[in-house]
A = this chain, B = another copy of it.
């Protein structure tokens, strides 16, 4: 499934020796066309890794013939030599596959601030090219894992015989852990670069952009959408966008479920906001409140911490009209004590927090995780 669920794509995943563990660490995805249209969204961090700077240039052409992805090193903050490494990676793939280096996107993930072992990575590109297969999607998804405990793939089928598939890695969100989110989506629908770009931006906006595991924006986040056109079906744009959104949503949920050290997935729904911007701002502020995340870990419906997070935003609201529910129990009503907090059952992994701003009719959902001792351990015990 994964990136080879759609027709016109081949993929491979190999162990190039980049990771000390000897596990799979290099993936290759090839678009065999006939169309080779592509779109991408990248991290908003102003400190961008070399592969992000490179791939942004490639995507400007709207055409991608192959993607090289490696785990075991982010190639971020590595200076001009790091950029040369990315360039050499693209050249190696281009040479092995017989197309131009300017059509090769590159993604890297792992520790910031160390050069990649190019003596291992370049032979790995050649080895992956030899193993390319229309059944290689799972192996590719396995090769991009870092702190992920499972690999993540998803597929949606469109009416009339077209498909959107994809793979993801990461222990967080579009602003995740430095473990970094990478996503490659493929489709055999016949969509040009502009259509892909519009669909990807709309789909990301309400999926990857609304998960926020730990508030830390990566230097390497990349989401690519490649179209082969091999189904020879050109879906209506809205229908296509919805299929892309479905796959993005599924992958985003898989990222949250596998976030570093998490024991709870927290769904924060902000309702009755003046506009969507307010709803997202409030949701994100709640999602980034360490004290609330600790309280949820302790299964404590501590709505005071929700109100104190709302209070730090510039959103339209009156403090004495705010309402907060935890798992459906309105523990805060009109900015004060509401239903009995002992009615709240927080034993299950999913916790739903609803914040009612009582101002308008806009809403948004943000997903986050609890803050746990395991998160601290995973991010303090070794460099990642």
- A: residues with CB less than 8 A from B are 44-48, 74, 76-79, 82, 111-115, 175, 177-178, 214-219, 288-291, 294-295, 297-298, 300, 302-305, 307-313, 317, 319-320, 322, 332, 334-337, 370-373, 375-377, 379-383
Contact = CB atoms under 8 A, between A and B. Distances in A.
Given A77-B307, A380-B298, A216 B335 contact: no
Contacts of A300: 380, 382-383
B113 A308 contact: no
Contacts of A215: 288-290
A304 B336 contact: no
Nearest to A217: B312
5 contacts: A45-B308, A77-B337, A113-B303, A115-B337, A298-B380
A12 to B, nearest CB: 29
B290 A214 contact: yes
Contact of A78 (B288, B336, B381, B383): B336
A77 B46 contact: no
A304 B214 contact: no
A332 B113 contact: yes
Given A217-B312, A291-B216, A111 B304 contact: yes
A353 to B, nearest CB: 15
A308 B218 contact: yes
A381 B298 CA distance: 6
Which 7 residue pairs are nearest across A and B when measured between Cβ atoms? Answer: A112-B304, A298-B380, A47-B311, A79-B336, A294-B379, A373-B373, A45-B311
A177 B291 contact: yes
Contact of A311 (B111, B115, B217, B302): B217
B337 A114 contact: yes
Contacts of A48: 311, 319
